[in-house]
Amino acid sequence: MHRGTDAPLFPEIYRQKLQQCAADGVLSDEDVKALTRLRVMLCIPQHTIDAAHSDICGSLFGKVVKDAIASGVDGYDADVKKAVRKAAHGLRLTRESAMSIAGKAARRIFLNFVKQARMAENRTEGAKALRKLIAFNSLVVTELVADIKGESSDTPPEEPSKVEDKKIEEEDEWGDEEWESLETLKKIRPSEEIAAKMGKPGQTEINLKDDLSGRERADLYKTYLLYCLTGEVTRIPFGAQITTKKDDSEYLLLNQLGGILD
């Protein structure tokens, strides 16, 4: 066992070797063997090894997740799916670790939509912000989760979706420079494929249960429920208002919102 004055440097030596091995986004079997030999030779505790892997490999995977989220619906193609799967499995991350990293990034965007809904001028605008949250979950996060797990989310829906195609308007800045370049929602384009995906149940493992209080989640759900009941309301002169859109398929999206909030 090494007990010399160099011992405090051993964890850093291991980290440097790990960074070198993981530089291409994959830890091969040979890399793992070499790292194991180095750990044994330097007598580095397992908890130190775990911390190094979580930090270095987790950071690399986090960058892949951010790129996947920022690619948007049109950009979340076969190449992005391949990159996510390669990183999630090639970096030897546990599923729990990979999901934790993805969840943190996704919930950050979820909360931006929640903020927009709260700051909306009226209930209709608030509901539109929540619909964008639902779309983001269905069209991006659900795909991301499936790729982390190595599953396929490309199976066609049992029935054609009745969800009306929606054009997602360009978003304002997030107020956080790191995410100002996010193009996800601006890249959503109306199409039958997108409508079909939004008609299918979205993932619910990544949700806002621990980020919002029960009261806050209930208020958001109520906002969208009232939108489903009343439709899109437009104000006209003399203080009157009319219902210009009412689509019962919005209840499908309400159910998905419940899964995100629960």
Query: What CA–CA distance (Å, rounded) separates 241 from 253?
Result: 25
What φ, ψ does residue 202 adopt, rounded to 5°?
A: -90, 170
Confidence of residue 178 (pLDDT cuts 50, 70, 90): very low
With residue 244 as reference, give the H or E element that holds it. Answer: strand 241-245
Flag whether pLDDT at 66 surpasses 50: yes
**Hey, CA dihedral for 34, 35, 41, 46, is it positive or negative?**
negative
Closest CA to 216 of 261, 167, 253: 261
> Model confidence over 14-31: pLDDT tens digits?
999 999 999 999 999 999
Is residue 160's pLDDT more than 80?
no
User: What token pair was written down for 167?
Assistant: 């054009």
196: confidence class by pLDDT, cuts 50, 70, 90: low
AA letter at 2: H
Residue 18 is encoded by which pair of tokens?
């790990």
**What pLDDT, on the 0 to 100 scale, is given for residue 200?**
79
- CA distance readout (Å), 180 to 24, 129, 171: 27, 17, 10
